[in-house]
Chains A and B, each alone.
Chain A
Amino acid sequence: MAGKQSLVRLAYRGKLGMKKKKIIFPLAYSVAFLTLLSLLLLAQATEGSEKFEQLYQILLITIIVGISCLFIIVIIYLFYAFIHYRRKIPGATLSITILWRTLLLAIIPLLLIAFFAFKFLRYEFQSSFDQGINEALTNSLILSQKALNIRALQALKESRNVAKTIAPYEYIILQTQLERIRQSIGASELTVFDEKGFIQAFASVNPELIIPPIPEHSDFIRAENQGGIFAIESNNGQFAIRVLTDINKPGAPNYYLQTLFFVPDTISKLTEQVNRTVTERDKFNYLMPRVNQSFIFVMILVLLLAILLLILSSIGFANAMVQPIRELIRGTKSVSQGDFNHSLVIKRYDDFGTLMQSFNRMTHSLKTATEEAESNRHKVESERAYLATVINHMTAGVLTLDYRRRLLTFNASAKQLLDCPLAEAVLVNINKLSANVKIYQEFIQQVSFIEGVSGNEKEIKINQADISKHFIIRLTSLPSTNELHGGYVIIFDEFGHYFQRQKQAAWEEVARRLAHEIKNPLTPILLAAERLNYKLSGHLADKEQQLLTRSIKVISNQVKSLKNMVDDFSNFAKPITMKAKPLEITGLLKEVFDLYKDHDSKIEFSLQMTEDKVFIQGSEQLLRQVFHNLIKNAIEACENQSSGKIVIALSQQNDKLHISITDNGVGLLSDSNDNNVFEPYVTTKEKGTGLGLAIVQKIIHEHYGTISLHNCRHHHGVTAEIILPLTDITVISTSNENNHEPSTI
């Protein structure tokens, strides 16, 4: 198990990483080349080349080691391919398919060739052909042996005759007669041994030979027992017959005669030729099966090497084929995951290279198209956001409906004016609306929908239980296109608000004109009065002088007063620029409260807050101005009271923030109501322009809030109540009908 894991690790550890792969393949081919070279030399050696015969074992070891190395490399690669296949790595299946198909294509012909090669090698070509020659050779051998035997028997007979002849010879006669006898019988050598085997007489054709070969003791005994023995000797192709017989000496122990007869040269040569040929034939017959075995052995090695090389080449081929496909698979995966930056490295210039180039071009085009689409989407989004901002900042309510008159979008003012959860009505059929949006249902039912209408104005009155609202609406029909159905846009406002805004707009216009018209002559008037005072001063009588001084002072004061009033007008007429940001309203209220709490010992200030920290979107500067204005008003109202009391309260109800400033002052005049105290130039104070509350209301409206002023029910005094939204404007997406999720900006 551990071995398997280590093999897997070997296959996966950068292991058979690209660098190692690059090394292993050339290494494997080098080993294969070396093995092949050794095989060629081995084949030479097998064919009998003496040069390589001495290297036979070294070559054999080299080949076996080479084949083993290749086998291990092939096994590792196959194992690696199998692991890839099991792990479903891109391209692994194709790699395996190419591998086995290539192997199938190449190995079958290879095995067929090997099969027939083996068959031919095992075929005994010469067996039938050589049979006759074999027999002839064997017969020649027998013939030669017979001829030599006949010659040997003849030599034995002659030797026996000589033995009889020399038996009676004395030692001296023997010495002198032996050479003559040798010559007479044609022997090349004659030797006489005594009973102990010592040489008694010796004659030889070779004068250089001093001592002849001495037979073994056993040979003497055999010669005596058998009446003579002979042996055929061969020395460098020259055959000779050596005979040993006993010499019966009368009345004395036996002597022995050794004779040597050379076989005639012609016979000797022919016999030697037969001997050599027979020996060569025997050698050939002996070696033939071994030659076959050697060739088969070499053939098996060649076959093994060829198969291993084939597998290795197939792996290389499969890798080369799969590599670009693997790259393409990785590339397409990246593209499918949205990564268009994936570019393939082109290393080849074949069809795969073209394919990879096309892929790169395609991803580049996709990238460009996606970037364009993204850019367009951003543009549309920003335009939509801009439009939504515009609509949401409109003080009038805006509703958009589809062609089935189902609500698509609405703005904050619409929600506020209709005072119902409009989100519940989004994409709901008008007849299936819940009771929570009853007011909206009635509102829509009263709208006269006419296609193709643009800017049709209408007044609508809604009477629900205790609520009565009067709206003025403007309906616009949206045109249908091929892909989109048309719809409707309703812009509406509460009748009172509408006219109040109209009035306020008129007042603002008046204030702006007044400020402009009055402000301009004020400075020349003031300068003219001061000049008059300067010129006449000292030229008039005391009484007239006093009158002048008093008149000039009145003019100057009135001009300054007019200037202040003009500044107030100017501020009122000026549009408020609000930079809304998250604001901790509780902190701001505490800060303002701290400023006033010790303002007057006669007035008791108290702060009541139900929440610790409340955040809203708003302008700190403008809201601070609102609180200062309202608290100042409250203080002024309490000025004549012996024990004034001002309560500042903050509470959170649903998604609204309620802030109230209550005093126990004189209260509002009975004929005053919510509407007219916020109108410009309406004031209950002796001094003042009557623009303070108008500006306060304007600021609160800018914060999408409301402000109301009313007398306290249970005691004297006035409560100023501000209601501010806690969350920002809600907009429903209109881009897709199926997308019902409201989005918050």
Chain B
Amino acid sequence: MGYLKKLLLFLAIYPLLLFAESEISKPEFVIEDKTLLINLAANIDLPVGVIDAVDNGIELKFAYRFEIYADKWYKPLAIAKLKKEYCLSYNRITDEYKLRDPITYQAHYFKELRTVKAYLSRLTEFPLLLSSQLPKNAHIKLRFELSAKNLPAFVKVERLFRKKWQVNSPWYDWLIEVN
């Protein structure tokens, strides 16, 4: 029974051990042209598994996910849920990394992964919602994640159990304080 308990405990804790490779600092919120904008800095870690996949022609999709809530006495009420996505790919001919916005198709080319990480680690003036829609005591939940949906199925299993695939940051929850 002792061994069974330990096994169950390990299985319960194991997924937690795989999280929290990337970190996000407390963001800044500004209102410009009646729009709430966010500026944030993160420490994005692209582990070996991710780099290896990109270098081998797999296009990976990363995203910042934002969820804005208004505090209510019964439960937090969701005001908005949105995300900023990036598609990262590698071109063997030009030996460049390409970071593409899947919505605007705007692309950025990088010779080195270091610069890709640096680019991903900054998000400047990303519009969240109209300032008029922002309630009092609103708070934001955000995280950086690697989207599993677009991963090939074979990688999905590996991603579940291997630390070298863990990119996701934990969910951060901050009160929105507009400067």
Which residues of A approach B to under 8 Å, CB–CB? 3, 45-46, 48, 53-54, 56-57, 60, 141, 144-145, 148, 231-235, 239, 271-272, 274-275, 278-280, 282-283, 285-287, 290-291, 293-294, 297
In whole Å, how far is A558's beta carbon from the nearest beta carbon of chain B? 117
Which of A54, A144, A291 is close to B93, meaning CB atoms less than 8 Å apart? Answer: A144
Decide: A286 near B94, CB < 8 A? Known: A57-B156, A293-B157.
no
When distances are taken between beta carbons in the complex, the residues of chain A under 8 Å from B156 are 53, 56-57
Are A278 and B92 neighbours in the complex by a CB distance under 8 Å? yes
When distances are taken between beta carbons in the complex, the residues of chain B under 8 Å from A271 are 93
Are A233 and B94 neighbours in the complex by a CB distance under 8 Å? yes
When distances are taken between beta carbons in the complex, the residues of chain A under 8 Å from B154 are 46, 287, 290-291, 293-294
Are B52 and A286 neighbours in the complex by a CB distance under 8 Å? yes
Which of A54, A148, A290 is close to B149, meaning CB atoms less than 8 Å apart? Answer: A54
Is B53 an interface residue, CB under 8 A from the partner? yes
Task: Give the secondary structure class of B's interface.
Answer: mixed
**A233–B107 alpha-carbon span in the complex (Å):** 11
**A355–B52 alpha-carbon span in the complex (Å):** 70
In whole Å, how far is A340's beta carbon from the nearest beta carbon of chain B? 49
Q: Which of B93, B94, B157 has the most CB of A within 10 A?
A: B93
**A272–B92 alpha-carbon span in the complex (Å):** 10
In whole Å, how far is A76's beta carbon from the nearest beta carbon of chain B? 14
When distances are taken between beta carbons in the complex, the residues of chain A under 8 Å from B79 are none
Q: Which of A3, A239, A287, A297 has the most CB of B within 10 A?
A: A287
When distances are taken between beta carbons in the complex, the residues of chain B under 8 Å from A145 are 93, 95
Is B56 an interface residue, CB under 8 A from the partner? yes
Is B39 an interface residue, CB under 8 A from the partner? no
**A60–B55 alpha-carbon span in the complex (Å):** 28
Are B94 and A282 neighbours in the complex by a CB distance under 8 Å? no
**A57–B148 alpha-carbon span in the complex (Å):** 10
Is B91 an interface residue, CB under 8 A from the partner? yes
**A278–B154 alpha-carbon span in the complex (Å):** 20
Is B80 an interface residue, CB under 8 A from the partner? no
**A233–B110 alpha-carbon span in the complex (Å):** 11
Are B93 and A141 neighbours in the complex by a CB distance under 8 Å? yes
Residue in chain A with minimal CB distance to B91: A234
Is B9 an interface residue, CB under 8 A from the partner? no
**A224–B68 alpha-carbon span in the complex (Å):** 48
Are B53 and A46 neighbours in the complex by a CB distance under 8 Å? no
**A46–B156 alpha-carbon span in the complex (Å):** 10
In whole Å, how far is B119's beta carbon from the nearest beta carbon of chain A? 13
Given A48-B152, A278-B57, A286-B53, 9 more A-B residue pairs with CB atoms under 8 Å apart are A45-B153, A53-B153, A60-B157, A145-B93, A232-B94, A283-B56, A287-B58, A293-B157, A294-B157
Is B123 an interface residue, CB under 8 A from the partner? no
Residue in chain A with minimal CB distance to B158: A290
**A238–B46 alpha-carbon span in the complex (Å):** 29
Residue in chain A with minimal CB distance to B109: A233
Residue in chain B with minimal CB distance to A50: B153
Decide: A48 near B93, CB < 8 A? Known: A279-B57, A286-B56.
no
When distances are taken between beta carbons in the complex, the residues of chain A under 8 Å from B55 are 282
Which of A60, A234, A282, A291 is close to B56, meaning CB atoms less than 8 Å apart? Answer: A282
When distances are taken between beta carbons in the complex, the residues of chain B under 8 Å from A144 are 93
Are B1 and A283 neighbours in the complex by a CB distance under 8 Å? no
Decide: A275 near B157, CB < 8 A? Known: A282-B56, A286-B57.
no
Is B130 an interface residue, CB under 8 A from the partner? no
**A504–B91 alpha-carbon span in the complex (Å):** 147
Are A148 and B93 neighbours in the complex by a CB distance under 8 Å? yes
In whole Å, how far is A113's beta carbon from the nearest beta carbon of chain B? 23
Which of B92, B107, B148, B158 is close to A275, meaning CB atoms less than 8 Å apart? Answer: B92
When distances are taken between beta carbons in the complex, the residues of chain A under 8 Å from B57 are 278-280, 282-283, 286
Number of residues of chain B lying within 8 A (CB) of chain A: 24
When distances are taken between beta carbons in the complex, the residues of chain B under 8 Å from A239 are 93-94
**A248–B149 alpha-carbon span in the complex (Å):** 53
Q: Which 4 A-B pairs have the closest CB atoms?
A: A286-B56, A290-B154, A279-B57, A283-B57
Q: Which of A232, A235, A280 has the most CB of B within 10 A?
A: A232
**A3–B4 alpha-carbon span in the complex (Å):** 13
When distances are taken between beta carbons in the complex, the residues of chain A under 8 Å from B157 are 60, 290, 293-294, 297
Instruction: Tell me which residues from 71 to 92 in chain B have a Cβ below 8 Å from any Cβ of chain A.
Output: 91-92
When distances are taken between beta carbons in the complex, the residues of chain A under 8 Å from B52 are 286
When distances are taken between beta carbons in the complex, the residues of chain A under 8 Å from B109 are 233
**A3–B93 alpha-carbon span in the complex (Å):** 65
Which of B91, B94, B149, B152 is close to A287, meaning CB atoms less than 8 Å apart? Answer: B152
**A285–B55 alpha-carbon span in the complex (Å):** 12
Are B153 and A48 neighbours in the complex by a CB distance under 8 Å? yes
When distances are taken between beta carbons in the complex, the residues of chain B under 8 Å from A279 are 57, 92
When distances are taken between beta carbons in the complex, the residues of chain B under 8 Å from A285 are 56
When distances are taken between beta carbons in the complex, the residues of chain A under 8 Å from B95 are 145
Which of A46, A235, A293 is close to B158, meaning CB atoms less than 8 Å apart? Answer: A293
Residue in chain B with minimal CB distance to A3: B1
Decide: A234 near B94, CB < 8 A? Known: A286-B53, A286-B58.
yes
**A235–B109 alpha-carbon span in the complex (Å):** 11
**A486–B107 alpha-carbon span in the complex (Å):** 127
When distances are taken between beta carbons in the complex, the residues of chain A under 8 Å from B92 are 141, 275, 278-279, 282
**A282–B58 alpha-carbon span in the complex (Å):** 9
In whole Å, how far is B154's beta carbon from the nearest beta carbon of chain A? 4
Is B113 an interface residue, CB under 8 A from the partner? no
**A293–B153 alpha-carbon span in the complex (Å):** 11
In whole Å, how far is B126's beta carbon from the nearest beta carbon of chain A? 22
**A–B complex contacts, Cβ < 8 Å, 24 sampled:** A46-B153, A53-B153, A141-B93, A144-B93, A145-B93, A232-B93, A233-B94, A234-B94, A239-B93, A239-B94, A272-B93, A274-B93, A275-B92, A278-B57, A282-B57, A282-B92, A283-B58, A287-B58, A287-B152, A287-B154, A290-B155, A294-B153, A294-B157, A297-B157
Contact with A along B154-169 (1 / 0, CB 8 A): 1111101000000000
When distances are taken between beta carbons in the complex, the residues of chain B under 8 Å from A53 are 153, 156
When distances are taken between beta carbons in the complex, the residues of chain A under 8 Å from B152 are 48, 287, 290
In whole Å, how far is B170's beta carbon from the nearest beta carbon of chain A? 20
When distances are taken between beta carbons in the complex, the residues of chain B under 8 Å from A45 are 153
Residue in chain A with minimal CB distance to B90: A279
In whole Å, how far is B101's beta carbon from the nearest beta carbon of chain A? 15
**A640–B30 alpha-carbon span in the complex (Å):** 156
Q: Which of B53, B152, B154, B160 has the most CB of A within 10 A?
A: B154
**A45–B1 alpha-carbon span in the complex (Å):** 36
Are B153 and A56 neighbours in the complex by a CB distance under 8 Å? yes
Instruction: Tell me which residues from 118 to 176 in chain B have a Cβ below 8 Å from any Cβ of chain A.
Output: 148-149, 152-158, 160
When distances are taken between beta carbons in the complex, the residues of chain A under 8 Å from B91 are 234, 275
When distances are taken between beta carbons in the complex, the residues of chain A under 8 Å from B94 are 231-234, 239
**A235–B94 alpha-carbon span in the complex (Å):** 11
**A141–B91 alpha-carbon span in the complex (Å):** 11
**A317–B45 alpha-carbon span in the complex (Å):** 56
When distances are taken between beta carbons in the complex, the residues of chain B under 8 Å from A141 are 92-93
**A278–B95 alpha-carbon span in the complex (Å):** 12
When distances are taken between beta carbons in the complex, the residues of chain A under 8 Å from B149 are 54
**A275–B152 alpha-carbon span in the complex (Å):** 20
**A37–B155 alpha-carbon span in the complex (Å):** 22
**A234–B56 alpha-carbon span in the complex (Å):** 18
In whole Å, how far is A616's beta carbon from the nearest beta carbon of chain B? 77
**A275–B89 alpha-carbon span in the complex (Å):** 13
Residue in chain B with minimal CB distance to A137: B92
When distances are taken between beta carbons in the complex, the residues of chain B under 8 Å from A235 are 107
Residue in chain B with minimal CB distance to A44: B153
Are A234 and B93 neighbours in the complex by a CB distance under 8 Å? yes
Are A275 and B93 neighbours in the complex by a CB distance under 8 Å? yes
Instruction: Tell me which residues from 33 to 63 in chain B have a Cβ below 8 Å from any Cβ of chain A.
Output: 52-53, 55-58
When distances are taken between beta carbons in the complex, the residues of chain A under 8 Å from B160 are 57, 60
**A231–B156 alpha-carbon span in the complex (Å):** 36
Residue in chain B with minimal CB distance to A281: B57
**A605–B107 alpha-carbon span in the complex (Å):** 147
When distances are taken between beta carbons in the complex, the residues of chain A under 8 Å from B107 are 235
In whole Å, how far is B34's beta carbon from the nearest beta carbon of chain A? 28
